[in-house]
Amino acid sequence: MRWPATTLTGRTIAFLVAPYGAEQAELTSPWQAVAEAGGTPRLLSTAPGRVLAVRHRDPGDTFAVDATVAEADQADYDGLVLPGGVASPDHLRLDGRAVAFVHAVCASGRPVAAICHAAWTLIEADAVRGRTLTSWPSLRTDLLNAGARWVDEEVHVCRDGPGVLVTSRKPADLPVFEDAFVTEFSHAASKRR
């Protein structure tokens, strides 16, 4: 275990994915990190039921949705994790309720962690202007055009905004991504209480 089991005790962390296409490792590994640190992860999506993750391009496992973004109150969450994959963030950025949820969490000053293609959802939520992020390399131009600064790093923690933004590039970066966001989520939640 990388953190004390009480690091995120009392904190509820939203994980937002589309009904299809979240990269499974980028959902399950951060989920486990939150749980190991004593937090309560909750899966949100744009539709009720189950979501189907992917392992790159192959179908992965399904996961039960705890609530839809339409019924979820962003104020109930201490932080937000946006897993990547190509299809999930692309779907989320076209869903007005998902975009509004992400925008509200970002504007509130609560911490957000996004990996791989999840930056697309942040772009649509107007949450990257003036921020420094990393992502899957193909999103570099999208982020620059949205007013962000892009860096090629395993993990980048940006504090130039209302809340901390933790970003990473790909599944291989998950260990450092998880260390960074668990630490930042713990600090941010302590300040809110």
Active site residues per annotation: 116-117
Sign for the pseudo-dihedral over CA of 108, 103, 62, 30: negative
Encoded amino acid at 174, one letter? L
In this structure, are residues 134 and 84 in contact, taking their beta carbons and an 8 Å threshold? no
**How much of the chain is helix, strand and coil, in % rounded to 5?**
40, 25, 35
In this structure, are residues 102 and 117 in contact, taking their beta carbons and an 8 Å threshold? no
In 3D space, the residue among 156, 5, 11 whose CA is nearest the CA of residue 80 turns out to be 11
Q: Which residues of 81-106 are buried (b: 16+ CB within 10 A; e: fewer)?
A: bbbbbbbbbebbbebeebbebbbebb
Distance CA 31, CA 73 (A): 20
Q: Which residues pair with 68 in a beta bridge?
A: 45
